[in-house]
């Protein structure tokens, strides 16, 4: 009898029916959550790409007229074209890697590093556009160049110093973000701070212009577009920060696509709107000089031209 009970002690005790059922329900719930999150993230990615391509179609004729067929500085034109087409290329590559049926874990690991680097490059390129606008509005103040350089360095150092990139996870298809480190959401703090500083600089210029009764329609356009850009981009950066800090791991990529699409679209429109206003002003001035009827020139602050836009 003692040997019988000793033998029974080695037999695994079966789980109670309620515990087994609870485990099955938990697994089904987790799988359903994963599938639902995957669908939401996939829909968000395709929506961001469709939004960006649609915006390109709407403004392509303006791009041809004011960028390709108009003489200008190579820096401004190159910055515009890089910001204009780097975003769609990045989103297409993102979506391809996340939906490709057979990708090795090694490729996913390399792609995660490239993804993080490309996001930083996209954000910094648009901020460069805004910094050039603010630099021109402030009369090419060299102190701002020092400030902008420090901001760039702070963003890069912050992105490197904050605990590293989440590891890749190879699921049924494509590359996905693996386990995330607790403080990784802090990578969004430096861009949020820099965007706030740029917005404050532009709002201060708007206040001084209003105080001094400045009647430059171009300056008003730059301030309006810049403030709208700042509010939109700040909102999407803040949403990403909150999602990464508070939401489930499955939803970490739900808004990341828009942090590339929205800055790319708004940055391009900021440059096109500015060039359009200066182009109309210079055309009207040439017509008035030719006809001798009078000046129709729109107020343009010193230092601003289509070539510098």
SS3 176: strand
- Phi/psi region, residue 139 (left: phi>0; alpha: psi -120 to 50; beta: rest), is left
Distance CA 81, CA 271 (A): 11
Q: What does each C-alpha distance from 8 to 14, 15, 17 come to in angstroms? A: 12, 16, 20
Nearest residue to 103 (alpha-carbon basis) of 31, 170, 20, 178: 170
Nearest-angstrom CA–CA distance, 166 and 150: 27
**For residues 257-275, average pLDDT:** 90
CB neighbourhood size of 207 (10 A): 11
Alpha-carbon distances, residue 248 vs 75, 87, 272, 289 (angstroms): 42, 27, 39, 64
Share of the chain above pLDDT 90, in %: 17
Residue 98 region by backbone torsions, left for phi larger than 0, else alpha for psi between -120 and 50, else beta: alpha
Q: Quote the mean pLDDT of the chain.
A: 75
Q: What is the pLDDT of residue 238?
A: 93
Q: How far apart are CA 266 and CA 148, in angstroms?
A: 20
pLDDT band at 50 (very low <50, low <70, confident <90, very high): very high
Could you tell me which of 101, 117, 118, 105 has the C-alpha nearest to residue 168?
105
The whole-angstrom distance between residue 218's C-alpha and the CA centroid of its chain comes to: 26
Helix axes 258-291, 74-99, angle to 10 degrees: 150
pTM of the model: 0.76
CB 237 within 8 A of CB 192: yes
| pLDDT score of 302 | 47
**Contact assessment for residue 91 and residue 260, using Cβ atoms and an 8 Å cutoff:** yes
**Could you tell me which of 66, 88, 90 has the C-alpha nearest to residue 269?**
66
Return d(Cα 275, Cα 69) in angstroms, integer: 12
CA 199 and chain centroid, separation: 16
- pLDDT of 257 > 50? The answer is yes
- ∠ at Cα 220 (214, 222), nearest 5°? 130
Residue-level pLDDT at 99: 77
Query: What's the pLDDT at 41?
Result: 82
Token output for 4? 């019988």
Residue 177 clears pLDDT 90, i.e. is over it: no
């Amino acid at each position: 009898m003692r040997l019988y009970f000793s033998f029974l002690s080695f037999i695994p005790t079966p789980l109670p029916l309620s515990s087994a059922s609870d485990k099955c329900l938990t697994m089904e719930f987790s799988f359903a959550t994963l599938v639902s999150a995957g669908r939401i993230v996939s829909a968000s990615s395709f929506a961001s790409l469709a939004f960006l391509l649609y915006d390109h179609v709407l403004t392509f004729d303006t791009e041809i007229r004011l960028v390709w067929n108009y003489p200008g500085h190579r820096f401004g034109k190159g910055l515009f074209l890089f910001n204009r087409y780097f975003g769609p290329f990045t989103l297409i590559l993102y979506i391809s890697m996340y939906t490709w049926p057979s990708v090795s874990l090694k490729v996913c690991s390399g792609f995660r590093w490239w993804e993080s680097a490309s996001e930083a490059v996209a954000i910094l390129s648009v901020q460069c556009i805004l910094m050039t606008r603010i630099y021109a509005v402030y009369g090419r103040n060299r102190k701002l160049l020092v400030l902008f350089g420090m901001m760039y360095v702070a963003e890069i150092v912050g992105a490197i110093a904050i605990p590293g990139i989440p590891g890749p996870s190879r699921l049924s298809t494509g590359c996905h973000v693996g386990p995330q480190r607790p403080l990784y959401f802090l990578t969004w703090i430096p861009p949020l701070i820099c965007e706030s500083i740029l917005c404050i600089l532009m709002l201060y210029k708007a206040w001084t212009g209003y105080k001094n009764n400045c009647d430059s329609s171009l300056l008003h356009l730059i301030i309006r577009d810049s403030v709208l850009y700042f509010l939109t981009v700040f909102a999407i950066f803040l949403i990403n920060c909150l999602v990464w800090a508070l939401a489930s791991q499955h939803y970490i990529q739900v808004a990341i696509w828009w942090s590339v699409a929205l800055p790319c679209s708004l940055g391009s429109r900021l440059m096109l709107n500015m060039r359009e206003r200066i182009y109309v002003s210079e055309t009207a001035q040439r017509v008035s000089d030719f006809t001798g009827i009078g000046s129709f020139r729109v107020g343009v602050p010193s230092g601003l031209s289509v070539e510098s836009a």
